[in-house]
Amino acid sequence: MDIRTLCLGILTMGDATGYEIKKTFEERLDLIFQASYGSIYPALNKLTEEGLVSCRAQSQEKRPDKKIYSITSAGRYLFFDEIMKKPAADRFRSEYLATLMFAHLLPAAAISELIDERIADRLQKIESLMSDCDTRQTDREQFLCNYGRTMYQAEIEYLQENRHLLEADALLGSRAAE
């Protein structure tokens, strides 16, 4: 599933402009999928060419014309086929965790700071999900929102309980002074 396909999916929920689709990515899908204008606008043009979406222009005063996209029935069928396929594996890459794999090369203070900042970041993400969660309409969206909260919470607890494993190494130097 690429960004093009997900644009199609978003249009199953109702007509939208490219700008609005971008906002949907940011506000409702950010946990699991990111997309920039540089992907979205070309995707919509291609989908239009292929007859998977249709486009009507709404002229506005003193603004560029708004292009409102609607999914066609061909588009609906294609999207259905896509989601019936076995989804590809998640892609995850963490520079943060990669850095921790070399914690023994870092000063003790740097390790502690990395972990403190991570916990703070996760707490903040949980908070912003909490306020979002209430405003989410569907069960599916609540499911995703709470999924995020659960994962972040599990990470925080893991870091708190296991940070000593990383910090111990770095302390050896100072312990030698005892």
Q: Interface with DNA by CB under 7 A: which residues?
A: 2-4, 17-20, 23, 34-39, 41-42, 44-45, 60-67
Min CB(113)–DNA separation in Å: 24
Q: How far apart are CA 4 and CA 1, in angstroms?
A: 8
Q: Write each residue from 31 to 70 as x if it is in contact with its own copies (CB under 8 A), else as -, in one continuous string.
A: xxxx------------------------------------
- Is residue 34 classed as helix, strand or coil in its secondary structure? coil
Task: Find the length of the chain.
Answer: 178
Closer residue to its own copies, CB minimum distance, 53 or 144: 144
User: Could you identify the residue written with the tokens 């998640």?
Assistant: 90
Cβ neighbors of 62 (< 8 A, separation 6 or more) are none
Q: Which pair of tokens denotes residue 76?
A: 């609906």
Tell which phi-psi region holds residue 14, choosing left (phi > 0), alpha (psi between -120 and 50) or beta.
left
Confirm or reject binding of residue 20 to its own copies (CB under 8 A): no
Site of interaction with its own copies (CB under 8 A): 1, 6, 9, 12, 29, 31-34, 79-80, 83-84, 87-106, 110, 114, 138-144, 146-147, 150-151, 153-155, 158, 162, 165-166, 168-169
